[in-house]
Amino acid sequence: MTLRFGKHKGQQFENTPKFYQDWLLKQDWFKAPKKEIPLHRQSLAGWDGHGKKGQAIYDAIFEQECIDQDLTNDELYDKYN
């Protein structure tokens, strides 16, 4: 996360001094940086089969299963259908 304010403006949060990070995290107005979760680790809970984000997650999960099982897309599709 790039800071857009203050003494360390323009720097990555994780590259700022530890005391500054601690101070920021104690502020009510500051939102802590979130770690990006890879698509294949995200949940499809609540996805109704429509929407680009859900489709992207679904595709990433499918791709990861192909890699984990050392199968082609067609082989994995045939396995589950």
Other CB atoms within a 10 A radius of the CB of residue 57 amount to 20
pTM to 2 decimal places:
0.41
Q: Are 38 and 60 in contact (CB under 8 A)?
A: yes
46-56 burial: b if 16+ Cβ within 10 Å, else e? eeeeeeeebee
37-46 confidence digits (pLDDT tens): 666 667 777 7
Least confident of 9-13, 23-27, 35-39: 35-39
- Mean of all residue pLDDT scores within the chain: 80
Listed residue (48, 51, 76, 47) closest to 62, CA to CA: 76
Whether residue 51 has pLDDT greater than 80 = yes
Average pLDDT over residues 33-60: 76
